[in-house]
Structure 1
């Protein structure tokens, strides 16, 4: 029976998503919950698991296409029993890799089709065989076989199709796959240089250089079409045009909405944080803390959580539709992360209940996940207060823009060794500037200033956390 899978609402209320890449091809045999595609919304890259076990009949979009929610994405040939079970209605929500890895369906559920987000294939189950693609399938479409591409590819990537030898999906991260897609390169033709077998950006660049696919190089095959979302140069190379999509588009819309909706006020405070930097150095020498990267950002996050207890106005939101001020009794602290896809602000849930070590670990995991392009949509939603660490770029201060729906955002500047008054004398001290932007509808100047001073006091004297806690 023919079953058509429509692009589901990915749980974010967004109307569309960009297809990053297919992980299956027409004619492939797929299993229930096998990843069939990666799609990018305005917030994250997510993997779509197959809702059916069967044969891929038709792929309705190509990499780089923007697909509307509810539009046909893929069509399967499904066995009768599975197709019948799939007829039960359910709300489809895209699952994240973490959710898929943790969920283990009961034995009686194994035959049921997955309605995206309802778990993963059972652990220990055999990986479904993917039909190997022939040389023709790996070559670019158009006038003929790209011999330069095939000569540059690893030997086993260009074999003739052999049904007995399944073709594994190339191992790489979403940013690398996106980079390869922008250059019009099939990762199946790229060989990993490292022992891990994971294809890196450097591997893609090296391959692209060999086949003339790097920007400015002569293409190996005339007439090859550029990727849909790749930067496009005008004649004479005087300008470059890049489609406004994904995270960049979402960030721009959110910042404009915030700037013209919430009246921003920014206050600054320069603090002597020598005691904090000395405390951090002592942590590094503590064997029990080996493996935990506790830095100034983690201490600042802890200070924010403590200060929000005294100043809940900074942990609230303005509900225009309901005509209410909503005060949160929990802290979902957002950490701004710069990635290759643009700025994202995933948040740490219930940060108020975490120790300093737990906060440091959560910040590290959050940053690594964001850089890998694997931030789950749920981690981008529900933030109550944000921190942006501009100090990592060598910047002292700035005027951060609020995330929509939040009352405050703190910018943490660079720590600088400079002359400073200390105990009535001039001494070299570690000094840092904090910048707090807040929504003046919710927070008065007095409240915002006192909050910032409390955060600064914890950084100046970490022992004050004992009093605030």
Structure 2
């Protein structure tokens, strides 16, 4: 996301520009993360260390004291490799032991140390799994009309944006439209760490899980509720490309209000995704298969896709989750509503 798209006051923009500070690195204290002049001043006072966004993210997640890190970049700028190098240095030395007989190494085994990213993923998934009592809802969706709609809009959106619209885009936009309905507000909410207060978001920041060889990242389409289909396609593709290139900024990975995980391209029949805390729900999208179904009393073959909604039962009741899925199923089976 460019600085021009960030919420910030004119005074904050002017000060950031004069100080050479990227607004995407500043955390806003205003409504919906709006950045004020005080936020820029606080950032300047507490961020005198020159560091890349990725290195800063890793240091924050792993609790690394930046004062102990020596930067190898231009003018001492700290890079990812510098943070990881310090972690290697801080590993406790192996205790000196009496020489022992050398056991023959089992060539059928390979031991791989967990990377810093893998450790963070493991910690967050464990916390989410153990903290939230979850409830999964499974639905089947007839994709006949959505497949037809995608064929119709494929060329126009490609001509307009240079990007190919995917089923994830269409499903994502359908999710966003339904999340904005007042009756589904708790699906688009979050619970504070103490478990005492629910925050209902009157906007949708949609997280889209992206799998990489080294781990899972969730880039966030900010203010997706204000986007047309072509705008959503453009923003989601930009974020996914940045993720795959390792250029995703910390601000582009934070602030989600709901997330989607699509494993359909791998032929998965169904799965129960783990909630991306502090979201109260996540949607799992599986593969589409040709199946016999009954339509108007006759057996016909239709493309059927399975969806799974995992909800945090502390925030969302099963009935409310079911009502959301009924509305989402209706939208996907009558997708012209997305273009109105």
Q: Distance in 2 between matches of 1:77 and 1:360?
A: 36
Q: Distance in 1 between matches of 2:74 and 2:238?
A: 40
Q: Distance in 2 between matches of 1:76 and 1:351?
A: 36
Q: Distance in 2 between matches of 1:427 and 1:40?
A: 55
Contact 2:161 2:230 in 1 (8 A): no
Kindly report which structure 2 residues correspond to 1:214-229, keeping only aligned pairs within 5 A, or say none: none
Q: 1:422 to 1:376 in 2, by over 3 A?
A: same
Shift of 1:400: 0.6
Query: In the alignment, what sits opposite 1:382?
Result: 255
Query: In the alignment, what sits opposite 1:441?
Result: 314
Query: In the alignment, what sits opposite 1:302?
Result: 173
Q: 1:237 to 1:465 in 2, by over 3 A?
A: same
Contact 1:264 1:438 in 2 (8 A): yes
Kindly report which structure 2 residues correspond to 1:14-163, keeping only aligned pairs within 5 A, or say none: 39=55, 41-42=57-58, 68-74=65-71
| 3-state secondary structure, aligned to 1:396 | coil
Query: In the alignment, what sits opposite 1:329?
Result: 202
Q: Distance in 1 between matches of 2:116 and 2:303?
A: 39
| 3-state secondary structure, aligned to 2:186 | helix
Q: Distance in 2 between matches of 1:38 and 1:275?
A: 41
Contact 1:391 1:413 in 2 (8 A): yes
Q: Distance in 2 between matches of 1:303 and 1:375?
A: 25
Is 2:190 the counterpart of 1:317?
A: yes
Query: In the alignment, what sits opposite 1:364?
Result: 237
Q: Which TM-score applies when normalising by structure 1?
A: 0.52
| 3-state secondary structure, aligned to 1:430 | strand
Query: In the alignment, what sits opposite 2:284?
Result: 411
Is 2:117 the counterpart of 1:247?
A: yes
Query: In the alignment, what sits opposite 2:139?
Result: 269
Specify which of 257, 262, 272 is matched with residue 399 of structure 1: 272
Shift of 1:461: 0.9
Higher relative contact order (CA 8 A, sep 6+): 2
Aligned length, in residue pairs: 270
Contact 1:43 1:246 in 2 (8 A): no
Query: In the alignment, what sits opposite 2:100?
Result: none
Q: 1:69 to 1:40 in 2, by over 3 A?
A: closer
Q: Distance in 2 between matches of 1:400 and 1:308?
A: 18
Q: 1:390 to 1:37 in 2, by over 3 A?
A: closer
Is 2:238 the counterpart of 1:238?
A: no
Q: 1:415 to 1:289 in 2, by over 3 A?
A: farther
Q: 1:256 to 1:38 in 2, by over 3 A?
A: closer
4+ aligned runs moved over 6 Å, structure 1: 33-38, 75-78
Listed one character per residue, the Cα deviations across residues 199-222 of structure 1 (whole Å, up to 9, x for unaligned) are xxxxxxxxxxxxxxxxxxxxxxxx
Contact 2:59 2:65 in 1 (8 A): no
Is 2:128 the counterpart of 1:258?
A: yes
The structure richer in helix per residue is: 2
Contact 1:413 1:434 in 2 (8 A): yes
Contact 1:340 1:371 in 2 (8 A): no
Q: 1:41 to 1:242 in 2, by over 3 A?
A: farther
Q: Distance in 1 between matches of 2:251 and 2:130?
A: 26
Q: 1:238 to 1:303 in 2, by over 3 A?
A: same
Specify which of 324, 329, 336 is matched with residue 463 of structure 1: 336
Shift of 1:387: 0.1
Listed one character per residue, the Cα deviations across residues 118-156 of structure 1 (whole Å, up to 9, x for unaligned) are xxxxxxxxxxxxxxxxxxxxxxxxxxxxxxxxxxxxxxx
Any gaps of 5 or more consecutive residues in structure 2? 1-24, 28-48, 85-90, 92-103
Q: Distance in 1 between matches of 2:190 and 2:318?
A: 17
Shift of 1:288: 4.1
Contact 1:44 1:373 in 2 (8 A): no
The structure richer in strand per residue is: 1
Any gaps of 5 or more consecutive residues in structure 1? 1-9, 13-32, 46-65, 79-113, 117-173, 182-227, 229-233
Listed one character per residue, the Cα deviations across residues 263-287 of structure 1 (whole Å, up to 9, x for unaligned) are 1110000010110001101122447
